[in-house]
A = this chain, B = another copy of it.
C-alpha cells in the first residue's frame, strides 16, 4: 500500500500518520480493540506508527498488517530485531522511554488504547504539542486538570476512535 502510482512525488503528506499507544501487557478486550484500530487505520490508507513492541502495539500492527497497511515501530532499544513481527519499518532509537517523544512527533494524531504511565506520558506530550489524542478506555484526564476537550477525546469503539482521529488532520506546522 505504501506504493501507489497515483501518488508519487507529492511528499510525505500523502498519507496521514496515526500513532497508536498503549501498554505492552493487555487483556483480550483491549487487544481486540487495538487490532480493530490497526485494521481501520489500514483500511483508511493511513500509516500506523507505534512503539513497536508487544501488547497494544503488536495487536494494532497485526490488524494493519493483515489488511495491507504500513506499520512503523519506533523502538526503545538499539536493536531493530526487537520489533514485533508485524512491524514493517523498525526504527531503533536507543533512547528507551525517550522514544515516546519521537512517536508523538511523527504522528499527526494519536489513539490511546488503555495504557499505564508510559501511555500517559505520550498523551501529555501529544497535548503539549497540540495534537489530538482519541482514547479508548485510557486515562480520564478531564478529571485531573484543565484539558482541552477538542484535543483529548473519548471514543466508545474502534470505529469512532479512528473516525475522530482521521477527521483531525492539521496541515504543515
Contacts and interface: CB of A to CB of B under 8 A. Distances in A.
Contacts of A13: 80-81
B144 A11 contact: no
A93 B83 contact: no
Contacts of A129: 78, 97
A17 B97 contact: no
Contact of A145 (B84, B90, B100, B139): B139
Given A12-B73, A96-B78, A106 B121 contact: no
A117 B106 contact: no
Contact of A65 (B8, B87, B93, B106): B8
Contact of A85 (B11, B49, B94): B11
B92 A89 contact: no
Contact of A127 (B88, B108, B117): B117
A67 to B, nearest CB: 11
12 contacts: A3-B88, A8-B65, A11-B81, A12-B80, A17-B80, A47-B89, A70-B89, A79-B172, A95-B102, A102-B102, A117-B127, A138-B145
Interface of A: 1-3, 8-13, 17, 47, 49, 65-66, 68, 70, 72-74, 78-81, 83-98, 100-102, 105-106, 108, 116-118, 120-121, 123-125, 127-129, 138-141, 143-146, 172-173
